[in-house]
Amino acid sequence: MRLALRERQPPWLTFALAGIAIVITYAITAGLIRWAGANPVSAFQLMLTSPLSSSFGIGEVILSATPILFTGLAVALAFKAGFWNIGAEGQFLIGAMMATLVGLNSESLPGWVAIPCMLIAAALGGALWGFVPALLRVKFGIDEVVTTLLLNPVAALVVAGMLNGPLRNPETHFPESARLPDHTDMPTLIPDTRIHLGFGLAVVLLLITWFIVARTPIGLQLRAVGSNIKAARSSGVNVTRILFGAALSSAAIAGVAGGVEVSAVSHQLSNGISPGFGYTGIIVATLAALTFPGVLAVALLFGDLTVGAFTASRILNIPSTVGEVVQAVLMVTVVSVLVFRKYRIVFRRGERTW
């Protein structure tokens, strides 16, 4: 038995692999839930349905889904162009740091000016963090999976260095920034909920990105590069420009995610501002088969799991981190089965294939 490169990828393959990943994830996590002393079917039912039984729960689902909606969109855009951006986590962190720097120095600005300035700074920070891997890919052919991934811990170290230096809280002296001025707090989208304007911004960005990719000449070129880079180059597409543009746009969106999280949720920068939003975005984009409506649906599903895990924990007396375990196992299984998008199994005897 060996792995052989596929000549083409059937259109149904991504959906089939996503389904296989979900089944494997359920099988693994069901065993862990049973080990914790609960019924897996009841646990998953509570995780999926309990948050949707009240307006408060729905608001919390949307709140939890917002950052991974941004990062899922960022990853999907890059992957669609054939640029494998695994660095959304680092871009998120740098975006959050840049937004904090602007927010802390915006005392003289009104909120309607300060918040857009924070988001612009976050986008520029994310794009800057994605610039070097993009340049190395288009100029020297260096694998962006490695460079973007390795820059994630570097971004975390940069943020930690700033929090232990210039951004250290001057009152508590803890390694976290001071609380941002009140006028930098992002407005709520729906009164009496925690759904903030960032969710609306994420949906608008998703719609704009979908329109550009699906309905414009640039989007056609982007999809051509992502499908077959050699054929796209032969037909006159400026592959360097498309890859570079997609990489920087993806990184900028991930940076905006960090800016929104600072302005709307945490209101200060800390080492724990991201529990892995960038990595979760990879799962979201992959399970959505790189479709933009799918990214929205999967992000909401993950938000539902996150909120529902606390209800399942309280009722069934299982660890509240079960939702994170489900997401982590899903990430591992998705990454594992993705191998079969490019490769097929070949059995030497009779050359039977799968």
pLDDT digits 0-9 by tens, 279-300: 999 989 988 888 999 999 999 9
Q: 143-157 as b/e, with b when 16 or more CB fall inside 10 Å?
A: ebeebbbebbeebbe
Q: What is the pLDDT of residues 5-48, one digit of tens each?
A: 777 777 777 778 878 888 998 899 998 888 888 888 888 888 88
pTM > 0.95: no
Q: Is 196 helix (H, G, I), strand (E, B) or coil?
A: strand
Who's near 165: CB < 8 A, 6+ residues apart?
Answer: none
SS3 136: helix
Task: Give whichever of 16-30, 35-49, 58-72, 335-349 has the largest mean pLDDT.
Answer: 58-72
Domains and CATH numbers, the chain: 2-353 (1.10.3470)
Report residue 221's pLDDT band, with 50, 70 and 90 as the boundaries: very high
In angstroms, what is the C-alpha Rg of the chain?
21
User: Distance (Å, rounded) from C-alpha 247 to C-alpha 57?
Assistant: 35
Please check the confidence at residue 73 and state whether its pLDDT lies above 90. yes
Q: For 102-127, how does the pLDDT look when each residue is reduced to its tens digit (9 = 90+)?
A: 999 999 999 999 999 999 999 999 99
- Give CA–CA dist 93/247, Å, rounded: 17
